[in-house]
Structure 1
């Protein structure tokens, strides 16, 4: 490498020095490039192998690289779903001493996909709706911590499967800004940007014949407004009721928990007459089910996946009649005798298809369909074998291939989802 390279890094990995920073990113050798799906970006982005994991490298200006790096670190400290920032590299020069653009390095989010890689030949209406709903949840979480995105879109988001739904992660914070709080006007501005961008992205797919004929891009994009406002009201809105209906306080808490949010503090006020009560959640945090699952089992899963695994754990506990076991002991037994044997049963060549928690969720769904079709309680071992042979083998790896030289996406074969399992069984 020529010149004096400047690296600001959140990790200590000497292997960063071994990459060819003296070459423009679009000329890096193919043996450095990782074949992973990528979305649309205004900047050149490449995936690269580094010390047993994959990083995303984006060429941009020095100012934007440093700003986005610091913003992602701030969001990470606030426990917002986003990509992990690794380094900013500046003062790059080629072998002739000519300056090269700075780069932002982030860790590739394992098992995540850009929205264009979540369909094969056509994007279905229900898939598009689930993506928009996931983005609405992410936008609410960002707004609650005072983050104004400024460029909300499907392209600036990565998605991970989450028990029949999707979990959204922020991947581009270049235009974002953190405030002490957002005004209604700022939130509405972000929401309108999201609506317009999503409509444009889906219209682009429709123009290329990549959507179902039944899909209305404008109607789907309008869905983010409805989903956002419904969730925002549930999380931040106040509620008034008669003092004789105090059970509604617990009901509100349970309703928020069912949405995957915890209440850190609840403001409760009565009127002067004491006949009416007014409640309002003051601080609400996401991840209720995933935190409980992590505490009980050590499994780190998406929120819907955690909810499904906890339901299975609770069913297992209910069947342990006559045993005086606390919750932690039951969870340990379920992990050792149910969950881990199922994961170990997955053949080595199929383990990269999905995350273990998502595989387990899909296996439970498959077992339910089998039991319904055959009018019997299908044993777990039989359901696992059927799922592997009839569902999992027909899935592609989430590591969808792209051509390193051209960056063009190679569309995968059609992926059977929950609606297709009935036909398979």
Structure 2
């Protein structure tokens, strides 16, 4: 009788090893009991997929050859470390054989993404009229994020993506990365190849939906691919283009940062070059982890704030730092920017912007809003003023207008909150 060998199980968490080892790895995944299906919706896949409960969570198992299981496990891990939305790799299994020593494919195990659905399951439900457009838009954002970190997907499609509801939009996650390649940076040719594949695959996805009667026959499958192409290209231009500003148009830098934030991206680096003609701004956005801004702000300034408030303060700090002659009191002197480390720039920003604002608020107005929210409202008020007047508003001038025209007319939120206790 042929000698069989035990499968090799490689796990991220050692606590999972014993439970995974008890699964029937001697059987092809397609022959596993229906008990392992778990009743979860699955998308179309070239591979056999099953769901199992391990402890208090559900894992997805995809059958593939040993080499691809290891490769995709590694790729998903790197993408996760780069803060790209993706399923989380938990284990891979190699060296599988049947009871008669026949070789079996390997397997990749990933954590099931709570509240996520494949696109077919979404279309099986009652969706808003523009749901298809929003799914394609979410995929365009995901593809841009992947390309920013140097990932060539090679098989972009709705089928290889999971979607979660995000307010009135969707968030897209990579679920199948076996065809992908990681590079330091993608060429334009690689990005365009990914887009061509995406257009073809998405048209196929929508043809599949039509064949299943999940969308109207009048829907044009090719139009969905074109929408992704247009959405991606518009987003990529916003993320990567270089803009030039005059020395008195720092408010336009604020506008650029705001547009990027609205798209879900944050600045990785802000480079400003000054010459006789003006200022050139190079923006390199990146996605950051949750609460990144709160932690960074606390480290730099000692200010505790909510995440969105902190992001506003840090954006203002970065914009203030980019101003010509930013040396701590040399604004408007025409001097070239002096390279300051982040801690020194934060100290100057505190002294020149944050503290003057908070100190200028009269005692009878301090209960209007908490400090973090006061600063957010101040930045918004200053931005509207700058836009209307087409110029930067000096800090003290902006503070005076903010207090008189805006803050003094707000209700006292602190008192309002206290009144709810009774």
- The answer to whether structure 1 residue 243 and structure 2 residue 247 are counterparts is yes
> 2: CA distance between counterparts of 1:162 and 1:217?
25
> 1: CA distance between counterparts of 2:54 and 2:296?
31
Equivalence for 2:8: 6
Q: How much does 1:63 deviate?
A: 1.1
Equivalence for 1:164: 168
1:131-170 equivalences under 5 Å are 131-170=135-174
Equivalence for 1:279: 281
Does structure 2 retain, via aligned residues, the 8 Å contact 1:123–1:212?
Answer: no
Report which of the two structures shows the higher radius of gyration computed on alpha carbons.
Answer: 2
Q: How much does 1:79 deviate?
A: 1.2
Equivalence for 2:216: 212
1:350-361 equivalences under 5 Å are none
User: What SS does the aligned partner of 1:23 have?
Assistant: coil
Equivalence for 1:126: 130
> 2: CA distance between counterparts of 1:154 and 1:67?
22
String of CA shifts for 1:398-422, please: whole Å, max 9, x gaps: xxxxxxxxxxxxxxxxxxxxxxxxx
> 2: CA distance between counterparts of 1:242 and 1:295?
30
> 2: CA distance between counterparts of 1:28 and 1:103?
13
String of CA shifts for 1:325-351, please: whole Å, max 9, x gaps: 4449xxxxxxxxxxxxxxxxxxxxxxx
CA 1:18–1:202: 2 relative to 1, 3 Å: same
Equivalence for 1:79: 83
- The answer to whether structure 1 residue 202 and structure 2 residue 206 are counterparts is yes
Q: How much does 1:159 deviate?
A: 0.4
Q: How much does 1:124 deviate?
A: 6.2
> 2: CA distance between counterparts of 1:195 and 1:288?
30
Q: How much does 1:295 deviate?
A: 9.4
Deviates more, 1:93-102 or 1:35-44: 93-102
> 2: CA distance between counterparts of 1:288 and 1:64?
28
> Gaps spanning 5+ residues in structure 2: where?
298-306, 312-364, 374-422
Q: How much does 1:260 deviate?
A: 1.9
Q: How much does 1:112 deviate?
A: 0.5
> 2: CA distance between counterparts of 1:211 and 1:202?
8
Does structure 2 retain, via aligned residues, the 8 Å contact 1:241–1:276?
Answer: yes
Equivalence for 1:103: 107
User: What SS does the aligned partner of 1:244 have?
Assistant: coil
Q: How much does 1:123 deviate?
A: 6.8
State the TM-score, normalized to the length of structure 2.
0.67
Does structure 1 retain, via aligned residues, the 8 Å contact 2:83–2:287?
Answer: no
State the TM-score, normalized to the length of structure 1.
0.67
Does structure 2 retain, via aligned residues, the 8 Å contact 1:33–1:49?
Answer: no
Q: How much does 1:9 deviate?
A: 1.3
Q: How much does 1:215 deviate?
A: 2.6
User: What SS does the aligned partner of 2:267 have?
Assistant: strand
Q: 2:65 aligns with which of 42, 45, 61?
A: 61
> Gaps spanning 5+ residues in structure 1: where?
297-305, 311-319, 329-425
Q: How much does 1:99 deviate?
A: 1.9
Equivalence for 2:267: 263
Does structure 2 retain, via aligned residues, the 8 Å contact 1:2–1:22?
Answer: no
> 2: CA distance between counterparts of 1:25 and 1:97?
16
Q: How much does 1:294 deviate?
A: 9.5
The CA RMSD measured in Å over matched residues stands at: 2.8
String of CA shifts for 1:130-167, please: whole Å, max 9, x gaps: 01000000000000010000000000000010001000
> 2: CA distance between counterparts of 1:136 and 1:217?
16
The structure, 1 or 2, with the larger RCO (C-alpha pairs under 8 Å, 6+ apart) is: 1
Does structure 1 retain, via aligned residues, the 8 Å contact 2:156–2:194?
Answer: yes
Does structure 2 retain, via aligned residues, the 8 Å contact 1:15–1:50?
Answer: yes
Does structure 2 retain, via aligned residues, the 8 Å contact 1:159–1:167?
Answer: yes
Q: How much does 1:21 deviate?
A: 1.1
Equivalence for 2:30: 26
